[in-house]
Amino acid sequence: MWTVLLVEDEVFVRESVRRIVDWHSLGFDVIGEAGNGEEALSWIEQHRPDLVICDILMPKMNGVEVLKRVREAEIGSRFIMLSCLSDFEYVRQAMEYGASNYILKLSMNVQSLVEALIKVDADLRKRHKPGDEAVARQPAGTLEKMEASALLPEETGHKEVDKLIRYMKDHYHQMISLKMLAEQVSMDSKYISTLFKKKTGTNIIQYLHQLRIEEARQRLEQTNLSVSEIGMKVGYENDNYFIKIFKRFTGLTPNTYRGQYQK
């Protein structure tokens, strides 16, 4: 799981951001909150989160100054800035200091935040786990499959982890959350997430995504079902989200993949 710090002086906005998406399903874990810039900077220096979602206009120290100080300290945390319409100059400065994205608070919704998180996830995976991007770096038109066994270990020898692997293989087409998986083995979500990664080399949600995308690839190759139908059958209710996840793992959209495979 990528760690996240939420920085916002308005408590209700922090709570809205925390509740608006299923963080664990996207591979993120909100591990801290801060109500002003000074508090945020101190927290970042101590804990070095992977991602900081940070308001721009705050008391004591604004978000751009926090980002600037973090970069001067050579801390590599990614930043998504939250801004108001009047913050344009601050937004420009934040992007110059390397912010990954910004979201207007007045128009923030599930889709805008999910899209920003997917972008950050891809960036972090490329930086920390170069092997995860191997498929995306294949030349266009190359559809040589990775062996399923290489992507998805069948068993690890650990009773609880293997039980989760079997559960995901049997239920990948259903809605599955980290909390639900933890309940299957009567363990804490954070503990089972750490254990699963240790035993398989990948985090539990990424494993589920890989399982679903491998099944989606087979259906694209072997059936005439629409992309939307395939997405639903492998566990993605939202078409756009399915397409984004598919492209993350293959480097191609489902339609492009099907077209190149048929050629």
> Is 110 found in the same domain as 53?
yes
Helices (H), 97-203: 110-128, 148-151, 159-171, 178-184, 189-200
Instruction: Tell me whether residue 137 is in a domain.
Output: no
Q: Are 145 and 252 in contact (CB under 8 A)?
A: no
130: tokens are: 């170069």
Taking each helix axis from N to C end, the angle separating 37-47 and 63-72, rounded to the nearest 10 degrees, works out to 30
Phi, psi of 4 (to 5 degrees): -130, 140
What pLDDT was estimated at residue 148?
A: 36
248: tokens are: 């993350």
> Is 213 found in the same domain as 179?
yes
The whole-angstrom separation of Cα 95 and Cα 118 is 18
Average pLDDT over residues 29-49: 91
> Is 74 found in the same domain as 170?
no
Which position has the higher pLDDT, 11 or 87?
Answer: 11
What is the number of other CB atoms lying within 10 angstroms of the CB of residue 19? 9
We report the CATH number of the domain holding residue 94 as 3.40.50.2300
Domain boundary among the residues 105, 128, 151 is at 128
260-263 long-range CB contacts below 8 Å, 24 or more apart?
260/140, 260/141, 260/143, 261/143, 261/220, 261/221, 263/141
**Is residue 53 over pLDDT 60?**
yes
> Is 148 found in the same domain as 122?
no
Q: Are 224 and 217 in contact (CB under 8 A)?
A: no
> Is 201 found in the same domain as 170?
yes
Place of tokens 């128009």: 107
We report the CATH number of the domain holding residue 219 as 1.10.10.60
Domain boundary among the residues 128, 154, 176 is at 128
Q: Tens digit of pLDDT for each residue in 160-211?
A: 889 999 999 999 999 888 888 989 999 888 888 888 888 877 788 888 888 8
Range of the domain at 7: 2-128
**Is residue 132 over pLDDT 50?**
no
Q: Tens digit of pLDDT for each residue in 146-156?
A: 333 334 556 77
What pLDDT was estimated at residue 140?
A: 34
170: tokens are: 């049997």
pTM tops 0.75: no
Instruction: Tell me whether residue 208 is in a domain.
Output: yes
**Is residue 88 over pLDDT 80?**
no
208 secondary structure, DSSP code: H
Instruction: Tell me whether residue 136 is in a domain.
Output: no
Average pLDDT over residues 127-145: 41
Q: pLDDT category, 38, cuts 50, 70, 90?
A: very high
Lowest mean pLDDT across 79-88, 124-133, 221-230: 124-133
Lowest mean pLDDT across 16-20, 139-143, 161-165, 219-223: 139-143
> Is 122 found in the same domain as 10?
yes
76: tokens are: 């590599």
What are the strands, taking DSSP E only, across the chain? 2-7, 28-34, 51-55, 78-83, 101-104
Instruction: Tell me whether residue 133 is in a domain.
Output: no
Q: Are 253 and 213 in contact (CB under 8 A)?
A: no
What pLDDT was estimated at residue 144?
A: 37
